[in-house]
């Protein structure tokens, strides 16, 4: 399930158009979201929903009408171009609210307001800090942040850190609404594992796009230091535009025994790869809200994450973190986790805590409230 679909699920709201991303090609592949929570709440309010996606083909999302808009495939241009085309289409549809996700597409915020659209912007994090962007792209992203925060009728941030920063910098109120997570339980099926020679409870998994800031190379290097513990490493994800980093990851995986690359996985296959892992690792240097980490926590999978502030904001125990970029410390932490079985009671408690803090119910309710405020402004 794509990130666009997850975020659309988060806001099954009155005729809300979301032109920020293309269907079927999510940024961070994760198990399906609990869309029933949004349906139930909106059903009680009598609200319908129409979603607009800027992409290559029409999408059908839980019975809602989808609309596709064409745009370029070039990394530096596709987000803003898809958004502009999507806004023109949205104007024809006359939605109650347009919801733009991320600061790149937010470059189009003044256009949305000029078209007479009510606008909500979600700030997903400081994308201008990503390693892949050059000087021009980083400047454009900073401008997108400024325009999105200034021109939106209402604003959302997916972390408290981002919300506090944006309020201080731009003098506008920003609602903190975290990403939602589905607590669906561990799948019984293991057919997705068998295709890659994996066994339940005998592999480490990482789920992320293959881009430099996710630091798959750190994880491969740390895994190589473990020796023969009888575990494999599964790297789940894709690099939509290829590039040198993907080639380096593929080369490292090929020369490191026990490493498998599964490619892009969604829905049941992805849920199986998540749920049957012995350990989930997120070594990234940049995150907005680490949704893949939340998905692992919701399934009760032991986790290790780099000590960057978005990961630390989840307030996990100290032994769930390691210093960013320290391959030796990561290898030692992985060895400790893999050789020490988790306590079942602690696992169950963590699942409950994750659902209470990040379940779709509170997320949907908070997003509906922001949409209502934007419509009334």
308-343, pLDDT tens digit by residue?
999 999 999 999 999 999 999 999 999 999 999 889
Q: Which residue's entry shows tokens 């269907």?
A: 23
One domain, residues 171 and 217: no
| pLDDT tens profile 79-113 | 778 888 889 888 888 899 999 999 999 999 999 99
What span, in angstroms and rounded, lies between the C-alpha atoms of 7 and 49? 13
Compute the distance between CA of residue 32 and CA of residue 295 in angstroms, rounded to an integer.
10
307 in the same domain as 237: yes
342 lies in the same domain as 365: no
Asked if 364 and 338 sit in the same domain, the reply is no
Burial of 274 by CB count in 10 Å (0-12 exposed, 13-18 middle, 19+ buried)? buried
If asked whether residues 260 and 364 sit together in one domain, one would say: no
CATH number, residue 74? 3.40.50.2000
Asked if 279 and 211 sit in the same domain, the reply is yes
Q: Could you give the number of structural domains in the chain?
A: 2
Q: Which domain holds residue 248?
A: 191-356
Copy the structure tokens of residue 318.
């100290």
Q: Tell me if 186 is assigned to some domain.
A: no
| pTM of the entire predicted model | 0.75
pLDDT category of residue 50 using cuts at 50, 70 and 90: very low
The CA distance from 289 to 357, in Å, is 13
Lowest mean pLDDT segment, chosen from 2-6, 320-324, 328-332, 354-358: 2-6
Q: Is 185 a member of any domain?
A: no
Give 49's pLDDT tier (boundaries 50, 70, 90).
Answer: very low
In a domain, 342, yes or no: yes
User: Would you state the pLDDT for residue 28?
Assistant: 42
């Amino acid at each position: 399930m794509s990130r666009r679909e997850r975020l659309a699920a988060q806001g099954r709201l009155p005729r809300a158009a979301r032109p920020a991303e293309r269907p079927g090609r999510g940024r961070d592949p994760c198990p399906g979201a609990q869309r029933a929570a949004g349906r139930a709440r909106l059903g009680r309010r009598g609200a319908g929903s129409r979603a607009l996606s800027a992409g290559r083909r029409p999408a059908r999302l839980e019975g809602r009408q989808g609309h596709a808009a064409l745009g370029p495939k070039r990394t530096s241009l596709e987000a803003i171009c898809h958004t502009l085309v999507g806004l023109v289409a949205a104007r024809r549809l006359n939605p109650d609210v347009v919801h733009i996700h991320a600061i790149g597409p937010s470059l189009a915020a003044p256009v949305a307001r000029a078209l007479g659209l009510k606008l909500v912007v979600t700030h997903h994090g400081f994308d201008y800090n990503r390693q892949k962007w050059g000087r021009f792209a980083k400047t454009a992203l900073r401008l997108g942040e400024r325009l999105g925060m200034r021109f939106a009728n209402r604003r959302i941030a997916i972390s408290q850190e981002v919300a506090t920063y944006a309020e201080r910098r731009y003098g506008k109120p920003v609602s903190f609404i975290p990403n939602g997570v589905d607590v669906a339980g561990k799948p019984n099926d293991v057919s997705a594992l068998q295709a890659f020679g994996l066994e339940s409870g005998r592999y480490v998994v990482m789920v992320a796009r293959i881009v430099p800031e996710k630091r798959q190379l750190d994880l491969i290097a740390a895994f190589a230091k473990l020796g023969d513990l009888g575990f494999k490493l599964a790297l789940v994800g894709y690099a939509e535009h290829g590039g040198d980093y993907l080639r380096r990851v593929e080369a490292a995986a090929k020369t490191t025994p026990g490493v498998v690359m599964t490619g892009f996985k969604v829905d049941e296959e992805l849920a199986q790869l998540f749920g049957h892992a012995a350990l989930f690792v997120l070594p990234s240097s940049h995150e907005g809200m680490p949704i893949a980490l939340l998905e692992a926590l919701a399934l009760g999978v032991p986790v290790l994450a780099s000590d960057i502030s978005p990961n630390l904001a989840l307030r996990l125990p100290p032994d769930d973190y390691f210093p960013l970029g320290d391959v030796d410390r990561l290898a030692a932490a992985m060895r400790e986790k893999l050789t020490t079985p988790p306590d079942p009671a602690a696992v169950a408690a963590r699942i409950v805590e994750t659902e209470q803090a990040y379940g779709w119910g509170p997320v949907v309710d908070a997003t509906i409230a922001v949409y209502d405020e934007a419509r009334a402004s």
